Amino acid sequence: MRDESQPALEAVSQNGSSAVATARPLPTNLAVKCPNCRELLVAKDLEKNVKVCQRCGHHFKLSAWERIQLLTDPDTFKEFAEELRSADPLSFVDRTTSYARSVADKRAKTGLEDAAVVGRARVDGLPVVLAVFDFNFIGGSMGSVVGEKLTRAIEMGERERTPVIIVSASGGARMQEGMYSLMQMAKTSAALGRLAEAGVPYISVLTDPTTGGVSASFAFLGDVILAEPGALIGFAGPRVIEQAIHQRLPADANTSEFVLAHGMIDAVVHRRDLRAELARLLRLYRAAETVAH
Amino acid sequence: MRDESQPALEAVSQNGSSAVATARPLPTNLAVKCPNCRELLVAKDLEKNVKVCQRCGHHFKLSAWERIQLLTDPDTFKEFAEELRSADPLSFVDRTTSYARSVADKRAKTGLEDAAVVGRARVDGLPVVLAVFDFNFIGGSMGSVVGEKLTRAIEMGERERTPVIIVSASGGARMQEGMYSLMQMAKTSAALGRLAEAGVPYISVLTDPTTGGVSASFAFLGDVILAEPGALIGFAGPRVIEQAIHQRLPADANTSEFVLAHGMIDAVVHRRDLRAELARLLRLYRAAETVAH
Amino acid sequence: MPYDLDFERPVAELERRIQTLQRRGERMRPDDRAQVATLEREVQRQTRELYRSLSPWQRVQVARHRHRPQTSDYIRLMCDDFFELHGDRRFGDDRSIMGGIASLDGRAIMLIGHQKGHDIKERQECNFGMPHPEGYRKALRLMTHAERFHMPVVTFIDTQGAFLGLEDEQRGQSQAIAENLLVMARLRTPIVATVIGEGGSGGALAIGVADSLLMLENTFYSVAAPEAAATILWRDASFAPDAAAAMKIGAPDLRDMGLCDALVPEPVGGAHRDHEMAAAHLKAALNEHLDELTRVPTAILLDRRYAKFRNIGVYARPVPATVD
Amino acid sequence: MPYDLDFERPVAELERRIQTLQRRGERMRPDDRAQVATLEREVQRQTRELYRSLSPWQRVQVARHRHRPQTSDYIRLMCDDFFELHGDRRFGDDRSIMGGIASLDGRAIMLIGHQKGHDIKERQECNFGMPHPEGYRKALRLMTHAERFHMPVVTFIDTQGAFLGLEDEQRGQSQAIAENLLVMARLRTPIVATVIGEGGSGGALAIGVADSLLMLENTFYSVAAPEAAATILWRDASFAPDAAAAMKIGAPDLRDMGLCDALVPEPVGGAHRDHEMAAAHLKAALNEHLDELTRVPTAILLDRRYAKFRNIGVYARPVPATVD
Ligand SMILES: [Zn+2]
Ligand SMILES: [Zn+2]
């Protein structure tokens, strides 16, 4: 898990003072500095452009609910497993705070119960089971709640023969739940194994960032794997690798484009096309399903 | 197919005149020059040392019958499909000779009917179906007869749940049978697909040389793949590659040791250990079979 | 599209005469117009004549024509949708083999084909249609994907052969091809392969183990490229035309030998003269074969496919092969 | 074998005194001998005491002890035969994971384990036990091989973690680990995994999805190496002992949490003090678990394995998970 203190959005108010923003809608009077091209963008325009920098195409992080809104038909998303809560199984006490307090903080700040939201929905009329990460919640890290939610989503897809889409944005496993977190990698992968045996499609969408235990489990197990442009994708982050091998990495290392070039994913898809591309895939799978059954 | 005119054994009689020898037992009064270290070896000693150079370990090519003698328990090899003969399906006329005449020549010279001999046998008491190539027969090339013999051997292994061993020594497909030859790659691979589904082991032994269509089909489909030291192994021979990429290759390119280092085979086994190593594997598979059935 | 092959020279000459006349534009006289019409009919007649009796070597040249439609052209012209998939999930994305999920008249198929490239840039990116091991492994991934979702596999063959390089040996060119042969032989979904241009050796067969093998009528399929065969047999690549003749590599030869299941007609003068018509013919043939194959229960399909390859080969004193 | 860990210093001091006395050789007096005997009993007593209550960080040090037996040692000491298999058939042969067909009291098994290496040369060849993607792909190949021939899979976990390098990213470290998790979860043959030293993160789990997870008693298994966890949590690797304690990574912790199915006893003072005895304990445990698992019909085995991982996780307001 890389719980980067770097905020999802670096917001600068028009009078020049800096403020950390969550990924929720910004006050319209703000300007936002693009972390890639340094352009000052009007927040309202940025929102309209699905949070993609109009100048350089940088994809800002989306919250789980923004992502759901982007991808699903209006009013079709029906959340489930929303009652699950972290239980602090190790009674984990940090050097400065406790896991319980961190979770409470993040809940208050994000309005989420944990780092993933799962539900049924429709995309261009076609039914899907959708799971979406939110990086704002402890770096999108996967503990027991996230693992359980994803597993229930995958099992629902299997049971109802409905395609599963998981949109990842995560630094990896959640340290504060120790081995329970690591084992969620096995748990979700096992569920995907049964989904594959049942011949139900699973589309994995990688967004910035997808690393660690999340990338090394369900995220890289998609029948089709898509990624948003410029996302950090890899087992380790570039800084970790640089420390390990004592070398500077090329600038494009561990980006979406890098993993595409190395044969690890199927396509890099611009955010504005993502919904249409998913719909196209879903229609093709549905055509295959119709013939087969 | 690389029908190298370079003979399998370069023999030099003791008075210094040169003679091309087949791989059959040499007159004991001959000395043989090792093509690797250039040492003059006494033919009788070389025979005793399973045709491995005493000085440098170079493995001379073996004829099919020498190989069968090396690997199987005495008097246990029972050949089958020995009645098959090339039929010259394309009425192939060479610029200098005809395919029919080439085959007749090779028959006379080698005493073989085609480039592979197949049969039932025992190795250290354990039953196997064994197929062995002879490079002296048109470069060990695979046409319809070789493909049919191998396929019958593999099918017999499947039917009788007996492990299959194929010892390759071949330049690839036989040009003179055109597409019939290419399709033997698919035919033998299809038979191996059924063998694998039946859970019957197939051990592939690569000897000098194993290239072209033989390497790109059954030879690289072994559950376990062994190779004799220093054998030429690869899709293309080094000279072909050098022509294609206009570069000199490293000296060890496309040797047994090279493909081992690149993860393509399981072990390089000295000829004197080959029979024992096969027996060891057969016993392990038999132990698994006993538990499973 | 100009007539630019050696053996088309008489037709090219007729074309030049037509062009000379047409260059007069408004100054063309009535009998000029009549002459143009006559010449155009003659072009048609001579083209038809030439292509009716292509020599083996002429067929090789047509099959390799640089304006011949490629996998990407057929996809564009035949499919109502195509979602390209990339990468072998192991090492790289080899553009000499392209593939993805396509919709063919509403039927979802996995479409995989060699791609040689059109302009020089694309040709380099596609390594001139000569795959590396990762290309075959991408194809393998797509085929098992198709099996999982009950999509028929449709492949287009158009390669001089697998690439021969040191890195290809290092990454297991032989292993990659061999594995594809085995997996295709046992894949639990229908497979239709079509030679759309060059069928070169193991590098072609690696996506060619199919229930139905179609060939466009002006294509060839050979155990080795004619140049390579000539080198192997006579140590001189310039005897390639002799090798092409001796090895009986043309589509009609293979149909006569029973190795090719159906010829797909090409427009007069070759597929490169009319991409749309070539694609229409191919699409019709594919639909016909897919209609039939998708009706066959999987177990029977696999037994038939096995028997098909099992029985290839001609030898004397044959004992009848039995397949259960 | 000298006592060389920090916390063993009191015992090391006793050993030094024994050695000083023994250096007198024939000049040793009767009361010297008596003292040696007393000291040796004291060494035993104190060692037992120390190892009975290892702190989390002490356990990490023992698990990483450079003289601890490794996969190759256990193979030599436990198996009546071992045929090593090499290579992933894709790219390379990664010596940080070794594997092959072994005979364990006459039972054929597929044995796969991390190998850190003994001397510096072997350690470099083994990349200090940190696998590249091709290591995981070799393990995958061997596991599907085992499935085909109905051999149980036995894995030994002993790694700091998967290697973190640019080339590993290029060749898909994440993909390789992920694929192993899925395939192991559905492999149609029994799997027993044992942590014999360090259980480091996803790089350990990639050969650890098993019907039975055993741990040698002085080992640990962690979502991240303690140093890495300390860096992630507090940006300071020197807090590794705190991370080790907070994350409850010791074998007894995991047994108490129900994540580890059985502890395998070690000789007094750790497995490194007596390789033979460590191997004997491990062999007995493996045989016990294999005896039981090989009796279970495959369909039930797979359902049980699924349920086992399905039910891992602790959360509030849980709705009972149902597995069919
Ligand atoms: Zn920007
Ligand atoms: Zn020598």
Q: Quick one: pLDDT at residue B292? A: 55
Residues of C in contact with D175 (CB under 8 A): 89-90
Size of interface A-C (CB pairs under 8 A): 75
**pLDDT tens track for A241-287:** 888 778 888 888 899 999 999 999 999 999 999 999 999 999 999 99
**pLDDT tens track for A192-226:** 999 999 999 999 999 999 999 999 999 999 999 99
**pLDDT tens track for C45-59:** 999 999 999 999 999
Task: Compute, in angstroms, the gap from residue A215 CA to the centroid of ligand 1.
Answer: 26
Q: Is D154 left (phi over 0), alpha (psi -120 to 50) or beta?
A: beta
H and E: helices and strands count for chain D: 14, 9
Q: Quick one: pLDDT at residue A292? A: 55
Angle between helices C173-186 and C133-148 (to 10 degrees): 20
Residues of D in contact with B201 (CB under 8 A): 149
Q: How confident is the model at residue D139 (pLDDT cuts 50, 70, 90)?
A: very high
Q: Quick one: pLDDT at residue A9? A: 30
In chain D, the percentage of residues whose pLDDT exceeds 90 is 90
* Range in A168-182, C229-243, D134-148, D295-309 the model is least confident about: C229-243
Is the confidence at residue D315, as pLDDT, over 70? yes
Nearest to D184 by CA among A186, A212, B196, A202: A186
The mean pLDDT value for D27-43 works out to 90
Q: What is the DSSP letter of C319?
A: P
Separation of alpha carbons C203 and B173, rounded Å:
13
Is the confidence at residue C201, as pLDDT, over 90? yes
Q: Quick one: pLDDT at residue B9? A: 30
Q: How confident is the model at residue B225 (pLDDT cuts 50, 70, 90)?
A: very high
Is the confidence at residue A61, as pLDDT, over 60? yes
The neighbours of chain C, by the rule of 3 or more Cβ pairs under 8 Å, are A, B, D
The mean pLDDT value for C156-172 works out to 96
Helix (H, G, I), strand (E, B) or coil at B21: strand
- In chain C, which residue's Cα lies nearest the Cα of A288? C108
The mean pLDDT value for C8-34 works out to 90
Separation of alpha carbons D218 and D264, rounded Å:
9
Q: Which residues lie below 8 Å from residue B246, measured CB to CB, with a gap of 6+?
A: none
Q: What is the 3-state secondary structure (H, E, C) of A39-63?
A: CEEEHHHHHHCCCECCCCCCECCCC
Contact yes or no for C312 and B183 at CB 8 A: yes
Could you give phi then psi for residue A82, rounded to 5 degrees? -75, -10
Q: How confident is the model at residue B249 (pLDDT cuts 50, 70, 90)?
A: confident
Match 């490794």 to its residue by tokens.
D70
Q: Which residues lie below 8 Å from residue A92, measured CB to CB, with a gap of 6+?
A: A98, A99, A176, A177, A178, D246, D247
Q: Look at B95 and C83; give whichever has higher pLDDT.
A: C83
The ligand that comes nearest to the alpha carbon of residue B60 is 2
Q: Quick one: pLDDT at residue D52? A: 92
Contact yes or no for C259 and B183 at CB 8 A: yes
Size of interface B-D (CB pairs under 8 A): 75
Contact yes or no for A187 and D202 at CB 8 A: no
Residues of C in contact with D177 (CB under 8 A): none
Biggest CA pair distance of chain D: 75
D172 Cα to chain A: minimum distance (Å): 7
The mean pLDDT value for D217-241 works out to 93
Residue B102 · residue B92 · CB < 8 Å: no
Task: Read off the amino acid at residue C291.
Answer: D
Nearest to B263 among D93, D151, D294 (CB): D93
The answer for B 156-215 residues in CB contact with D (under 8 A) is 196, 199, 201
Is ipTM over 0.85?
yes
Q: Do the bridges between strand B40-42 and strand B18-21 make them parallel or antiparallel, or are there none, so unpaired? A: unpaired
Both tokens assigned to B39? 């040492």
Separation of alpha carbons A196 and C87, rounded Å:
19
Q: Do the bridges between strand A78-80 and strand A116-123 make them parallel or antiparallel, or are there none, so unpaired? A: antiparallel
Q: Which residues lie below 8 Å from residue B72, measured CB to CB, with a gap of 6+?
A: B121, B122, B123, B128, B130
Q: How confident is the model at residue B231 (pLDDT cuts 50, 70, 90)?
A: very high
The answer for D 197-236 residues in CB contact with B (under 8 A) is none
The neighbours of chain D, by the rule of 3 or more Cβ pairs under 8 Å, are A, B, C
Q: What is the DSSP letter of C102?
A: E
Cis peptide before A209 (omega within 30 of 0): yes
The neighbours of chain A, by the rule of 3 or more Cβ pairs under 8 Å, are C, D
Contact yes or no for D172 and C90 at CB 8 A: yes
The mean pLDDT value for C80-93 works out to 98
**pLDDT tens track for D58-83:** 999 999 999 999 999 999 999 999 99
Both tokens assigned to A50? 């699905």
Contact yes or no for A83 and D317 at CB 8 A: yes
Is the confidence at residue C303, as pLDDT, over 70? yes
Q: What share of chain D is helix, strand, coil (3-state, %, to 5)?
A: 50, 15, 30
- Torsion over CA of C91, C96, C101 and C105, rounded to 10 degrees? -170
| Mean pLDDT taken over chain D | 95
Nearest to B106 by CA among B80, B134, B83: B134
- In chain C, which residue's Cα lies nearest the Cα of B80? C319
Q: How confident is the model at residue A8 (pLDDT cuts 50, 70, 90)?
A: very low
Task: Compute, in angstroms, the gap from residue D77 CA to the centroid of ligand 1.
Answer: 61
Q: Quick one: pLDDT at residue D323? A: 54
Helices (H), chain A: 43-48, 64-71, 99-110, 144-160, 178-197, 212-215, 238-245, 256-261, 271-292
Contact yes or no for B190 and C182 at CB 8 A: yes
Task: Compute, in angstroms, the gap from residue A32 CA to the centroid of ligand 1.
Answer: 10
Q: Quick one: pLDDT at residue A6? A: 33
Has this prediction a pTM greater than 0.90?
A: yes
Is the confidence at residue B18, as pLDDT, over 90? no
Q: Which residues lie below 8 Å from residue D295, measured CB to CB, with a gap of 6+?
A: none
Interface-testing mutation among C101, C287, C291, with chain A (most A C-beta atoms within 10 A): C101
